[in-house]
Structure 1
Amino acid sequence: MAPRDLLLALVVIVAWGLNFVVIKVGLDGLPPMLLGALRFALVAFPAVFFVRRPALPWRWLIAYGATISLGQFAFLFEAMAHGMPPGLASLVLQSQAFFTLFFAAAFLGERLRPASVLGLLIAAGGLALIGLQHGDGQGVPLLAIVLTLCGGASWAMGNVLTRRFGSVNLMGLVIWGAIVPPLPFMALAWYFDGPERIAQALLNISGSSILALVYLAVVASMLGYGLWSRLLSRYPAGKVAPFSLLVPVVGLASAALLLGERLAPLQWWGGLLVMVGLLVNVFGPQLLRRWAPAA
């Protein structure tokens, strides 16, 4: 990979890793579902008037927006509002890699690889350790972990849908898919929080919440996916995708530096196991193919 493109990949990883700290800042001033509605409204408008719609039927665009945008972030925002620490959220959300394997096997007929199953078992052990103890001596709420895993599953379902699209402009897909979530998010906000809390949050919105929204919409969504799609158009997916393994590293480091998030030893070991599981899933098949002829 050219040095310039390597730098762009690192920019994306830092932008996505910091995303979890920024979500925490946004949630300090806005209810979770309202934060989601405002984020995707900023992503979609006015960008849809300047970015060409992908050559996909509307049903696929709606399905994409309902899974990767609405489902993933509705569960993630609620998880963080219920006590999921930002650093751990960035790690646990990577469970999407394993959900993608199972959904692809179930709906696309893809075969589960032995290395992927081994990686899943290792990562599952890591998730179990993460749930045992939080840095302050208390366990991470089970509801928060389950909600984050549901976010990973929604992301994975969107990944499987994207595979069926074939070659498509990722930036256009992200922007036009963002048309879907705002109204469902507002309906959920109305149901969970009520009109009075929504009005109060909007009337008293702070500067930090506005900056968080701008970051989530412009930096994490538009800039991040725009650069990512550029890299995917220049290099094979197998060379670009492994960079996403660095997102939880940046997420954990930024949460520690900016929010003072501290993990217990068991959770560091759990995080390490999750990362090892992800590495086995990504690189295990290539290593096995290399070792098999030698054996």
Structure 2
Amino acid sequence: MSDQLVTYEVSEGIATISLDRPDVANAQNPELLDRLDSLWTAAADDPDVRVIVLRANGKHFSSGHDLAASSGRARSDKWTVAEVYEFEARRYVGYSLKWRNIPKPSIAAVQGACIAGGLLLAWPCDLIVAADNAKFSDPVVAMGIGGVEYHGHTWELGARLAKEILFTGRPVTAEEALRVGMVNRVVPLAELDAATRQLASEIASKHPFALRMAKRAVNQTLDVQGFTTAVQSVFDIHSLGHGHAITEAGFPVLVGLEGMKKSIAAQ
């Protein structure tokens, strides 16, 4: 099925969810995120699905939140911090944590740019296979905010590298991401889909309950260490950034927007 936002296919125990806005580098408007969530749910509920693959059509995995659409909100000085908070708590942090905790194994296949909100799609997946041209970045400091909503940075990169990419906005290459353990494998761009499919097939051959328990063991260990609590707490810090941006410019996306666009264009 296709609605020109996200496509979905199930074959041989693998559900493949594909972002399908290649003309805008798979920028995420609210409709895309809602559709994506519905497909994650469908895959989770389908007894024939053992592994979920998230991939993207086109040159880039995702350029993040759709700035042109202002995340579905009008550019106005009437939006409150509470309204922004509710919107992002549902579609950004809420969806990402939900996808992270779906009991079936998931794999993100990432090529090209994975910027800011793109991290909210890739990081919740259990495994990441990156094309050799993949670059991961969070240039949201350019918008006057301390980082994107789902703070996986410290867990995925380690504290010092997390600070560096936030402070500078520079991208992390696929090879660098592999060295620090943020991605599992780096493959040539032309082999990305085949390599991801092969890995998914290998995992799908295992007993689904055993896979579920293995995933739970790792995620629960991270949660004992404070992962989910930290993500939720840092979201409040992110929201404070929105409050500051609103007082400065009337609407969060307008603060440093040109700087943000330049960061994206550079990738």
TM-score range, shorter chain: under 0.3
In terms of fraction of residues, the more helix-rich structure is: 1
TM-score calculated relative to the size of structure 1: 0.26
- Structure with the greater alpha carbon radius of gyration: 1
Q: Which has the higher contact order (CA 8 A, sep 6+)?
A: 1
In terms of fraction of residues, the more strand-rich structure is: 2
